[in-house]
């Protein structure tokens, strides 16, 4: 199963100049796996919605998805780069699918039962040693810039990232602006998305996950600069490019999430914008596992084509 | 005392694919013990009511129960699978009954003297090393999804579970929705019960303990899905089945608790619903030890028959 | 100085079936020391009032008591079972009186200068290693069931107890209901005293210290049971018996405190009630050291007689 | 530089009966140093005012005092027993003056920029290992009995003291009543000063530092005792004696601080009261280093004479 | 590349008398590097604005600055003494520029998305071991005297500094008065700036970074002293001198920051005041990297000339 990294992948890896071979090896493994293997593009299947929204909202539309094995198999059959899930779900298939697809251990989680007046926060529910034990390539961790718990979350991931990197495990940061400091529109504003990207990069994320954004500008001081410097934010591709720039001018892998289930065309348009803006790919959950398996495989096949520039 | 696991038990154990032989051995021990040994069904005697409600409310109706030995002996004589209690109670009989029945160290506890305005929470009152020292098969831990202390409780059990699993001790999570985010009816609503099951599974519980639920639906978003997808929640058995599905489609052992003391027929109906819905059994405390010993033994015998499909 | 444990003491020790020889040896040492040695009864001198109420209120009535040596000598001369005090006071005589009387290191303390609106809590002011270094037989620790700091105090003593027991040091829990959840009358109500006893037992206390109680019933749910089950709480001896029952039906040593200084007859009546209710003895501070030394010795001699059934 | 401890010093050291030779050696070193060496009396120079009040208020009246070396030299030239200061200041002269005067590392500090509504508290700014590394004889630590942060400060110094004592370093506790529980007058009331002394002694302080007090009585319960027992608090010497009694009847070294800069005669009167009341000496900062060096040396010489009974 | 320290540098290093050769070596390295090498003066490039203000506000005015390599190269080409940045940014160039310029790992950071009602605080986002791993000469840490989080920040840096110093890494403290205790004018008042300097020095900073100040006096007690002692604060140079005095009378290196982007002449005037007041140099970010590279190099060249006394 020896696998020589392509030039595209080598170029990406060369940007991780402070990382040890363990971390680079895991990044390489994710970049070289699946139908996009070697292109520098990635599609990741994340399944933490059972934690975030509960099992019925997540899996009842496609009941086969109640079973953790379903997701492992979907990710493998669709030729994705990696599968991300919380501890319990990964454990339920870790042996059956060992070595068949890179996994990302989602190490913190929120849920819909948290009292609404509590600060936006998540619980750490797994450790770096859990990731090693389960053969994961990376840990995943959500931060909420904008929450009064934000600084504490930054400290948590900083410590966990240090341990992970020392043990050869990569870190994926879900950088999701949320909390008292932001309006609802602000959570997806482009200035905030770019800022969230920058924070994840400065915290040492190897892979940054942010949401696609709107052309709203949330912060007055930022608005002045965007307008004064005439930064193009008129299209989704332009906004993706602004985030890529904020990921150390493209020195860090950045993938974008698609949000709740929606029409297939909309999903494809998102992917084209990510591709055209220079992003590294999609992290796409509900839009696949809430569809019947064949539909999901079709959609994922189409997304691969888009990232390969064929659709 | 060599004991070959039955097929039913082997099938259950095969779902714990990320666990070491120590944890599996302890799960096997609990599944192979007592009158239900080998069936894949379980009845567990939990005695933490002295902590939760005080000694008079718990034991005065049957004063022999003030003595910890009473409960060990009751669990043994009734042929149950395991006995669960807090540190002090286990210590008081750990030597006398060593090896005679699997024990579960209840590692956190609440009480009725906590000021009502405090967040719903429990105190950690025992450690994994206590469990090892006392020869326990598992630790037990309560979480309160819905409380503002919920995320912290998740972090506590995540850490304790990691240590326990590494040391070959299984983890039973009491997943009890409670707190500021929930109405009184919501605490036993089926959407919440299924969600509580899912959270325990994702946290890595080897055995999940939830309460039987009602057909109330608490969360608006969940109601939409239950109604839209026409999920059957009309009977207790159907609701048990929904929880079983939420336990990774049955890949995790799930037992149900019966609540406060009530009529025997009601207890039997509950057990039949658990059995018919595919649940793994009952965890039943006050309904047994608050009855005279002979009555309790009769009731437990009847429950065994129910789980064996004979009643 | 070899000393064979009496049958009465052996019977008590046999109840500590999960404890190592180190802990049992220290319990034995306390039970075999002094004029009550071997009877299974105990009188303990506690001197933490300098912390709780300040030096003038504690010692000015009998100024010799400002000197820590005074208390060591009083406990020795009166033939008591043990002397309990905070770190500084024990250190001031630990060498002079080494080996002459078992000591209990009071490991947490409150004081009268704490702002009244703060949660009822204590500071941990000594460690298990301090106890070992000073040759103590036990640590003493106060918990406040009923306080919003209660759960945290339970966690503190759980951890400290685990360390102490592993190192062969016994644990005495002062279980003092106090805090936002209780009325003033409730602090000494019998249902609360029995509950406080049960909590200490479940936390793993080797010796439980509670206050004598009144026939008040604080909790509505408990009142129903006490009245419904016709539990006798009409006399102090009956109430002591209810607490003894709540100490695992007598499997744990339980001693009672006398409160502030009062008439000698009242002190004697208390002791007779403790004896008649099956309690293990008295922990008595201000009523002795605030009296002139000779009066105190007389009183303690009389208490010994009462526990020996001679008065 | 061999130095045989005088009888007076040996008598003092004999009271520290639970301490190891390392701690006793450091106490001896402080007691045998300087012009009061061997008398059992001490004068200590503390310079933490730069932290507490800022540099201008502390040093501008005598600008030479901006330089840390100035204070080392002043303490040495005046023949004092020890020099106490925070980490940075000690480090700035630790090598130049190594071995020339015992030093006390002030391990926590407050400042005048703390928001006034915050609980009265200090930050820990140095460790026991810092003290060892810098060759200090003791650590110094402030507690605020009366503050809502008080219990936490007690826990901090208890832990630090345990580590220090184990490593042979003595502990000096600045026991300064302050916080929500006290009126302004209460902070210097004699009942509170005696209580503060007792708390420091019980926490295991080797040297206790309190402020001189007034004849105000703050706590109602204490007032009853002071009046009922006719405790003399009419003179400063009598109040010093009350504090000495509260320091385990003189078994612990107690020194008194003088407060803000004032007339020389007042400083001398204070010292005579300390001497006559049986206190061990003065800890005197602003009254020396805010005066010109020659004036300060004269004043300190006069204080030495007073403690030697010559003035 | 052997390099003999100049007399000026040796004189500075001799003030760090409690530090090990590791720390001194790193201070020496920073002082001997670049165009000011050997003069005892320093210019440092700090780039943490992406964290503090977001990427657009920081880098859009000069988009090349989105790339971390740009800043390394700018600092090297301009002949600066050191480059300071958060973890992610340093990692992105640590290998390419290894050994070419001393680096300072900014170990804590704030951001503009923190809810405004939260206490002024920062998150610790890197460790001392990260600094070692990345070959850094120092860690940088911001404290906010005046914030309710201030004491906690002091404790954080005290611990981190102890570890860093033990491992041979120097500590630079950004001492920025901010928070509930201060008015907006107070944040830059001279009494507050001098106080902030003193606090950093007492905490053990090897290099102190404060802002240039105004002649405003914030604290009433300080105002009395400044006016009473007639301390000159009429010019920026005089105010710099007051801060230098507060840095242990010049025993600690102190550099000043320039604030937001402004006219070049103003930048030069600041530098002359720093030089004339005896400060050690500038730490200058936005005023350089927000200008086109050639303009920035010109400005930095001019600043070098000023510190060399040639402009």
* pLDDT recorded at residue D1: 47
Q: Compute the count of residue pairs across chains C and D with CB atoms less than 8 Å apart.
A: 139
- The catalytically annotated residue of A24, A120, A209, A211 is A209
Q: D116: distance to nearest CA of chain E, Å?
A: 7
Element (H, E) at A236: helix A236-246
Examine chains B and A and say if they touch (3+ CB pairs below 8 A).
yes
Instruction: Assess whether pLDDT exceeds 80 at residue D269.
Output: yes
The percent of residues above 70 in pLDDT, for chain D, comes to 98
Do C112 and D219 lie within an 8 Å CB cutoff?
yes
Q: Active-site residue among C209, C211, C226, C307? A: C209
Partners of B135 in beta bridges = none
Percent of chain C topping pLDDT 70: 99
Find the domain containing B100 and state its range. Answer: 20-31+40-307
- The 3-state secondary structure of D99-151 reads CCCCEEEECEECCCCCCCCCCCCCEECCCHHHHHHCCCCEEEEEECCCCCCHH
Distances from the Cα of E308 to the Cα of D179, E211, E235, angstroms: 52, 22, 21
CB neighbour class for B173 (10 Å; exposed up to 12, middle 13-18, buried from 19): buried
Q: Do E51 and A205 touch (CB under 8 A)?
A: no
- Chain E positions touching A182 (Cβ under 8 A) are 113
E6 located within any domain: no
Residues of C in contact with D225 (CB under 8 A): 56-57, 60-61
Distance from CA of D184 to the nearest CA of C (A): 14
User: Active-site residue among B16, B70, B144, B176?
Assistant: B176
B229 with A56: Cβ contact below 8 A: yes
DSSP letters of E38-74? Answer: TTT-EEEEE--HHHHH-HHHHHTTSGGGGSHHHHHHH
On average, the pLDDT of chain B sits at 96
pLDDT (tens digit per residue) in B232-257: 999 999 999 999 999 999 999 999 99
Nearest chain E residue to A221, by CA: E57
Contact flag for B and E (3+ C-beta pairs < 8 Å): no
Residue E2, pLDDT > 70, answer no
- CA B189 to chain A, closest CA, distance in angstroms equals 13
Report the share of chain C in percent with pLDDT over 90: 95
Interface touch E150/D109, C-beta < 8 Å: no
Q: What is the pLDDT of residues A1-22, one digit of tens each?
A: 456 899 999 999 999 999 999 9
Closest A-chain CA to B231: A60
Whole-angstrom distance, CA of residue C176 vs CA of residue C166: 25
Q: Do chains C and D touch (3 or more CB pairs under 8 A)?
A: yes
Tell whether the model's pLDDT for residue C7 goes beyond 90: yes
CB B45 within 8 A of CB B83: yes
ipTM: 0.96
Q: Are B122 and B86 within 8 A, CB to CB?
A: no
Q: Round the average pLDDT of chain A to a whole number and report it.
A: 96
Spell out which residues of chain B touch residue C121, defining contact as CB-CB under 8 Å.
none
Q: What is the dihedral of CA D3, D7, D9, D14, to 10 degrees?
A: 120
Q: What angle do CA B135, B139, B141 make, to 5 degrees?
A: 160
Q: Which residues contact B225 (CB under 8 A, 6 or more apart)?
A: A56, A57, A60, A61, B231
The pLDDT value given to residue D126: 98
The three-class DSSP label of residue B267 is helix
Longest dimension (CA), chain B: 56
Average pLDDT over residues B132-144: 98
Buried b (16+ CB within 10 A) or exposed e, A49-82: bbbbbbbbbbbbbbeebbbbbbbbbbbbebbbbb
Q: Would you say residue E14 lies in a domain?
A: no
Beta carbons of A129 and A158 less than 8 angstroms apart: no
Does A226 participate in catalysis according to the annotation? no
The pLDDT of residue A262 is 82
Q: In this model, does residue B1 exceed pLDDT 70? A: no
Chain E neighbours (≥3 Cβ pairs under 8 A) are A, D
Q: Pick from D16, D204, D249: which is nearest to C66 by CB?
A: D249
C-alpha to C-alpha distance for E168 and A302, rounded to whole angstroms: 55
CB pair distance less than 8 Å for E245 and D93 = no
Q: Helix, strand, coil: what percent of chain B each, to 5? A: 45, 15, 40
* CB atoms D122 and E151 under 8 Å: yes
Calculated CA dihedral for residues C36, C41, C45, C51, nearest 10 degrees = 170
Q: Are A114 and B181 in contact (CB < 8 Å)?
A: yes
CA dihedral C150→C156→C162→C168, nearest 10 degrees, is -110
Task: Tell which of C125, C136, C147, C153 to mutate to test the D interface (max D CBs under 10 Å).
Answer: C125
Task: Give the C-alpha separation, E274 to E209, whole Å.
Answer: 12
Kindly name the residue from C176, C195, C226, C307 that is annotated as catalytic.
Answer: C176
Determine whether the interchain pair E162/D95 forms a contact, defined as Cβ–Cβ distance below 8 Å.
no
Q: What is the DSSP letter of C182?
A: -
The residue assigned the tokens 């006559």 is D276
H or E element at residue D44: strand D42-46
What is the Cα–Cα distance from B5 to D138, expressed in whole angstroms? Answer: 65
Is B257 inside any structural domain?
yes
Task: Spell out which residues of chain A touch residue B19, defining contact as CB-CB under 8 Å.
Answer: 91
Please give, rounded to a whole number of angstroms, the shortest distance from the CA of D133 to a CA of chain E: 9
Give percent above pLDDT 70 in chain A: 99
Is C8 a member of any domain? no
Q: Report pLDDT digits (tens) over A29-41.
A: 999 999 999 999 9
Q: Name the residue with tokens 């959840």.
A: C181
On chain C, the residues whose CB falls within 8 A of the CB of D165 are none
Quote the pTM value.
0.96
Contact C125 D221 (CB under 8 A): no
Q: Mean pLDDT across chain E, nearest whole number?
A: 96
Q: What is the mean pLDDT of residues C271-297?
A: 96
> For C21-35, how does the pLDDT look when each residue is reduced to its tens digit (9 = 90+)?
999 999 999 999 999
- Alpha carbon distance C125, C210 (integer Å): 21
Phi, psi of C57, deg, nearest 5: -60, -30
Burial group, residue E265, by CB count within 10 angstroms (0-12, 13-18, 19+): exposed
Of the residues D176, D195, D226, D307, which is catalytic? D176
Q: Enumerate the residues of chain C whose CB falls inside 8 A of the CB of residue B51.
A: 198-199, 202
Residue C14 in domain: no
Tokens of C153: 């105090």
d(CA D236, CA D247): 17
Task: Give residue-wise pLDDT tens across range E75-127.
Answer: 999 999 999 999 999 999 999 999 999 999 999 999 999 998 999 999 999 99
Distance in angstroms (rounded) separating the CA atoms of residues D180 and B55:
39
pLDDT confidence of residue A259: 67
Looking at residue C296, its pLDDT comes to 97
Q: To which residue do tokens 């009502």 refer?
A: B116
- The share of chain A scoring above pLDDT 90, in percent, equals 95
Q: pLDDT (tens digit, 9 = 90+) per residue, D58-89?
A: 999 999 999 999 999 999 999 999 999 999 99
Q: Which tokens go with E271?
A: 């530098």
Chain C residues touching residue B107 (CB < 8 angstroms): none
Residue A288 within a domain: yes
Which CATH number characterizes residue B125's domain?
Answer: 3.20.20.70
Best residue in C55, C59, C286 for a mutation probing chain D (most D CBs within 10 Å): C55
Task: Write out the H or E segment, with its range, that includes residue C293.
Answer: helix C293-307
Catalytic residue of the set D72, D209, D226, D307: D209
E209 is catalytic: yes
Q: Which chains reach chain A with 3 or more Cβ–Cβ distances below 8 angstroms?
A: B, E
Residue D259's pLDDT band (cuts 50, 70, 90): low
Helices B220-228 and B190-202, interaxial angle, to 10°? Answer: 100
Q: Characterize E238-262 residue by residue with b for buried, 16 or more Cβ atoms within 10 angstroms of its Cβ, and e for exposed.
A: bbbbbbbbbbbbbbbbbbbbbbeee
Residue-wise DSSP of A252-278: SEEEEE--S---HHHHHHHHHHHHHHT
User: Are the C-beta atoms of B141 and B160 separated by less than 8 Å?
Assistant: yes
User: In E, which residues are within 8 Å of D52 by CB distance?
Assistant: none
Residue C278 has pLDDT above 70, yes or no: yes
For residue B67, give how far its alpha carbon lies from the nearest alpha carbon of chain C (Å).
Answer: 5
Q: Are residues B202 and A54, on separate chains, in Cβ contact within 8 Å?
A: no
Q: Is the pLDDT of residue B258 over 80?
A: no
- Touching chains, B (3+ CB pairs < 8 A): A, C
Chain C: closest CA distance from residue D126 (Å): 20
Nearest to D244 by CA among D40, D56, D103: D40
Physical contact, A and C (3 or more Cβ pairs within 8 A):
no
pLDDT given for residue A136 in this prediction: 98
Asked if A57 lies within 8 A of B222 by C-beta distance, the reply is yes
Cα–Cα dist B86/C18, whole Å:
14
Structure tokens, B1? 């005392």
- Number of folded domains that form chain C: 1
Task: Give domain status of residue B183, yes or no.
Answer: yes
DSSP state of C210: E
Q: Which residues of D touch E242 (CB under 8 A)?
A: 56
Quick: pLDDT tens for C204-246. Answer: 999 999 999 999 999 999 999 999 999 999 999 999 999 999 9
Which of E70, E72, E144, E176 is labelled catalytic? E176
pLDDT tier, C262 (very low <50, low <70, confident <90, very high otherwise): confident
């Amino acid at each position: 199963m020896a696998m020589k990294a392509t030039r595209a992948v080598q170029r990406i890896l060369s940007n991780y100049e402070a990382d040890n071979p363990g971390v680079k090896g895991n990044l390489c493994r994710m970049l070289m796996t699946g139908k996009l293997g070697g292109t520098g593009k990635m599609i990741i299947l994340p399944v933490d919605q059972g934690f975030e929204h509960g099992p019925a909202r997540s899996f009842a539309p496609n009941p086969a998805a109640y079973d953790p094995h379903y997701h492992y198999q979907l990710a493998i059959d669709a030729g994705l780069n990696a599968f991300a899930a919380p501890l319990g779900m990964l454990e339920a298939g870790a042996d059956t699918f060992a070595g068949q697809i890179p996994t990302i251990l989602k190490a913190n989680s929120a849920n819909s039962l948290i009292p609404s007046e509590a600060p936006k926060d998540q619980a750490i529910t797994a450790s770096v040693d859990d990731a090693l034990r389960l053969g994961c390539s990376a840990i995943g961790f959500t931060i909420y810039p904008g929450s009064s718990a934000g600084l504490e979350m930054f400290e948590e991931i900083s410590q966990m990232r240090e341990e992970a990197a020392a043990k050869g495990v990569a870190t994926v940061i879900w950088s999701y602006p949320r909390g008292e400091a932001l309006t609802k529109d602000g959570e997806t504003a482009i200035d905030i998305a770019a800022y969230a990207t920058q924070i994840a990069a400065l915290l040492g994320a190897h892979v940054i996950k942010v949401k696609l954004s709107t052309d709203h500008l949330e912060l007055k001081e930022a608005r002045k600069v965007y307008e004064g410097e005439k930064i193009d934010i008129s299209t989704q591709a332009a906004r993706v490019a602004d985030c890529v720039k904020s990921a150390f001018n493209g020195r860090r892998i950045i993938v974008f999430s698609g949000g709740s289930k929606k029409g297939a065309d909309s999903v494809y348009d998102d992917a084209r914008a990510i591709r055209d803006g220079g992003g590294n790919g999609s992290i796409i959950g509900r839009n696949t596992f809430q569809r019947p398996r064949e539909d999901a495989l079709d959609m994922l096949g189409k997304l691969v084509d888009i990232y390969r520039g064929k659709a």
